[in-house]
Amino acid sequence: MTVTEDQRDTTLAARRAMIDSQLRTSGVNEPWILEAMGSLAREDYVPANMRDAAYIDRAIALGDGRMLASPLVHGRFLAEARPTQADKALLIGDDGYLAALLRPLVGSLDVVAPGDAGAIGSGDYTLIMIDGAIEALPDALVDRLAPDGRVVTGQVLRGVTRVATGRKAAGRVALLPLAEIGIPVLPEFAAPKRWSF
């Protein structure tokens, strides 16, 4: 057996362990998510020196302050989003692992870096996914969401990150925090500082 075959077997075993030990045990059991995450090589989306750790159950530093969220975060995001081919989707994040998972599940996908989220042009998106935890959802993103469109993101509340979802109604989106989970925080979405005693 060659080294490359050994490496392939090791990564396939790690991917199976991610499905069985991280996703299934935490309630992510949708067959379409397990199939997508079980077939996508997560190690292709991390720095070369982190390939052996691609399937660990925590975020991985990608460099330049960017992070790849844990597999469970992405599994939960997909489960809450329930993407369909009818969706015109916007992903705020890298055109990396989550984009590769989401792209075949939606009709169209635009990807914008967190720092460029305020400059999004037109578009009535039915799904906006933010790959990280935010303190505040900018009005510019709410404006790009179609009526009854949905948002899936991480949310920072009192220093704790949670998966959160919301739907656009009457021109607004109220995020509903769901499960506490470690999600990399996006500093570009910090809430305005308020004066206090």
Number of structural domains, the chain?
1
Question: For residue range 109-153, what is the model confidence (pLDDT) as tens digits?
Answer: 999 999 887 777 777 999 999 999 999 998 889 999 999 999 999
What confidence score (pLDDT) does residue 2 get? 42
Question: For residue range 54-107, what is the model confidence (pLDDT) as tens digits?
Answer: 999 999 999 888 999 999 999 999 999 999 999 999 999 999 999 999 999 999
Is residue 195 predicted with pLDDT exceeding 70? no
Report if residue 154 sits inside a domain.
Answer: yes
Report if residue 197 sits inside a domain.
Answer: no
Q: Are 97 and 15 in contact (CB under 8 A)?
A: no
Among 39, 46, 50, 49, CA closest to 66:
46
Residue 165 belongs to a domain with what CATH number? 3.40.50.150
pTM here is: 0.90
Report if residue 15 sits inside a domain.
Answer: yes
Q: The domain containing residue 145 runs over which residues? A: 3-189
Q: Are 85 and 104 in contact (CB under 8 A)?
A: no
Report if residue 65 sits inside a domain.
Answer: yes
Report if residue 195 sits inside a domain.
Answer: no
Whole-number Å distance between alpha carbons of 157 and 180: 10
Q: Are 141 and 165 in contact (CB under 8 A)?
A: no
Is residue 196 predicted with pLDDT exceeding 70? no
Report if residue 117 sits inside a domain.
Answer: yes
Report if residue 51 sits inside a domain.
Answer: yes
